[in-house]
Amino acid sequence: MPRCLLRLPFAALLAATIALGGVSPSAAQKAYDPGASDTTIKIGNLMPYSGPASAYAIVGRIEQAYFRMVNDQGGINGRRIEFISYDDAYSPAKAVEQTRRLVERDEVLLVFSAMGTPSNAAIQKYLDAKKVPQLFAATGATRFGDPANFPWTMGWQPPYQTEGRVYAKYIMATKPDAKIAVLYQNDDLGKDLLKGLRDGLGAKAAMIVAEDSYEIGEPTIDSHVLRLKASGADVFISITTPKFAAQAIRTAARIEWRPLYVQTLVSASIGAVISVAGFDNAQGLVSAAYNKDAADPQWRDDPGMQRFHAFLDAYAPDVNRTDNSAVYGYGAAQCLVEVLRRAGDNLTRANIMKQAAALQGYAPDTLLPGITVDTSASDFHPIERLRMMRFSGDRWELFGEVIGGELDK
């Protein structure tokens, strides 16, 4: 009797499979790679839950919560998402170890939204050799959108170089005879953004009259700001991470340096930077954005942001909503769900990449109006447009048109 019970579902399944195959051989063809099945899709992820960059790990928590919501709503085409997120402590060696654990032991279908340039750079070659998608890498380094050499890797956020080009376009349009001083963090963020700026200025790169870099370990960057003021520049571009961004804003105000102050978007967060530097000191700052700001009242009636807030209320009530990482995680997770939905029953790694490279005009809830996700077989930079914004009162005000900063193919 027990044997019969066991056999029955199997027979039914077999019959169903045959029936499905017989009825519509082309439409319902299911194809799976490791990590995908009729019931689940396994997604791997790396986050710096410990170590110097642990503030970014909030992205991983939001993504986890988002997939929980998707599962509660019935999953993707009936499949549950199993999100496996490991700590890499922001160390390349650990990132390789954990990625191998994800691919070889947990057998995930793809690695999604791994955090940081060093970790993504360390695992890129391995994933490429294994033909495992490295989707929506959470870094703005340009190398993660290079389909000719790395067809399995795709970034998500606007590349730092794009941001640099957008600032170049803005400055050339509004202040064609500007003298620019640049302060940058001596890492991939600083160098890439500076390159974009220079490329964007093109023949007029001589507008940059002074540049100065600092190391992430420096206690204060006051002296750098003083030096840049002495150069006589009337535009100051601060390519800085939050702690240093706040210091620079405060120092510039204290020494009464009032240039056109450009703050890069990684540190445009009101909660983490502006309020720390003081609202008075930050008046007139300009920056660029692609995401809606969760603290901005102008999106109160925006349906996308209402969904975002409803999601946070239900699945991550303890998260600080002014943290840009929350908006980031939500947008990236939503974009992945869209890709998986489009892949349908053909959950092979090749098809996932094909779908990810065919997003045209897709707009997650959190992107600014006019900014969309656009990819193609030769364009692996999903977001390449930004809008300028100016700080006024206690919030950022968007102004001007959406500016494209597409990189040369």
> For binding to other proteins (CB under 8 A), which residues are involved?
49-51, 85-87, 89-94, 96-97, 100-101, 103-105, 117-118, 121-122, 124-126, 141, 143, 186-188, 191, 215, 217
**Helix (H/G/I), strand (E/B), else coil: 104:** helix
Q: Which is nearer to other proteins, 127 or 312 (CB)?
A: 127
Which residues face 182 on adjacent strands? 211, 237
Contact call for residues 381 and 357 (beta carbons, < 8 A) = no
Contact call for residues 207 and 262 (beta carbons, < 8 A) = no
The C-alpha angle with vertex 392 and arms to 389 and 398, in degrees rounded to 5, equals 25
Sequence-ordered alpha helix ranges (H) in 175-221: 188-201
Taking the complex as a whole, the smallest distance from the CB of residue 245 to other proteins amounts, in Å, to: 19
What's the rounded Cα separation, in Å, for the pair 20 and 10? 15
Q: Which is nearer to other proteins, 101 or 390 (CB)?
A: 101
Taking the complex as a whole, the smallest distance from the CB of residue 93 to other proteins amounts, in Å, to: 5
What's the rounded Cα separation, in Å, for the pair 63 and 66? 5
Q: Which is nearer to other proteins, 154 or 289 (CB)?
A: 154
Taking the complex as a whole, the smallest distance from the CB of residue 311 to other proteins amounts, in Å, to: 20
- In DSSP notation, 373-384 reads B--BTTB--S--
Q: Which is nearer to other proteins, 33 or 188 (CB)?
A: 188
Taking the complex as a whole, the smallest distance from the CB of residue 297 to other proteins amounts, in Å, to: 31
The tokens 């447009």 sit on which residue? 385
Q: Which is nearer to other proteins, 85 or 113 (CB)?
A: 85
Taking the complex as a whole, the smallest distance from the CB of residue 301 to other proteins amounts, in Å, to: 34
C-alpha dihedral, 245 to 237 to 269 to 406, nearest 10°: -140
Q: Which is nearer to other proteins, 122 or 286 (CB)?
A: 122
Q: Which is nearer to other proteins, 142 or 355 (CB)?
A: 142
Strand pairing of 385-392 and 395-404? antiparallel
What's the rounded Cα separation, in Å, for the pair 236 and 305? 32
Taking the complex as a whole, the smallest distance from the CB of residue 60 to other proteins amounts, in Å, to: 9
Taking the complex as a whole, the smallest distance from the CB of residue 83 to other proteins amounts, in Å, to: 12
Taking the complex as a whole, the smallest distance from the CB of residue 89 to other proteins amounts, in Å, to: 7
What's the rounded Cα separation, in Å, for the pair 82 and 165? 38
Contact call for residues 368 and 387 (beta carbons, < 8 A) = yes
- In DSSP notation, 6-72 reads HHHHHHHHHHHHHHHHHH-TTTT--EE-TTB-SSEEEEEEEE-SSSTTGGGGHHHHHHHHHHHHHHH
Nearby residues of 372 by Cβ (< 8 Å), 6 or more positions away: 360, 361, 362, 363, 383, 385
Taking the complex as a whole, the smallest distance from the CB of residue 346 to other proteins amounts, in Å, to: 27
Q: Which is nearer to other proteins, 190 or 242 (CB)?
A: 190
Q: Which is nearer to other proteins, 85 or 267 (CB)?
A: 85
Taking the complex as a whole, the smallest distance from the CB of residue 236 to other proteins amounts, in Å, to: 22
- In DSSP notation, 227-269 reads HHHHTT-SEEEEE--HHHHHHHHHHHHHTT---EEEE-GGG--
Q: Which is nearer to other proteins, 291 or 325 (CB)?
A: 325
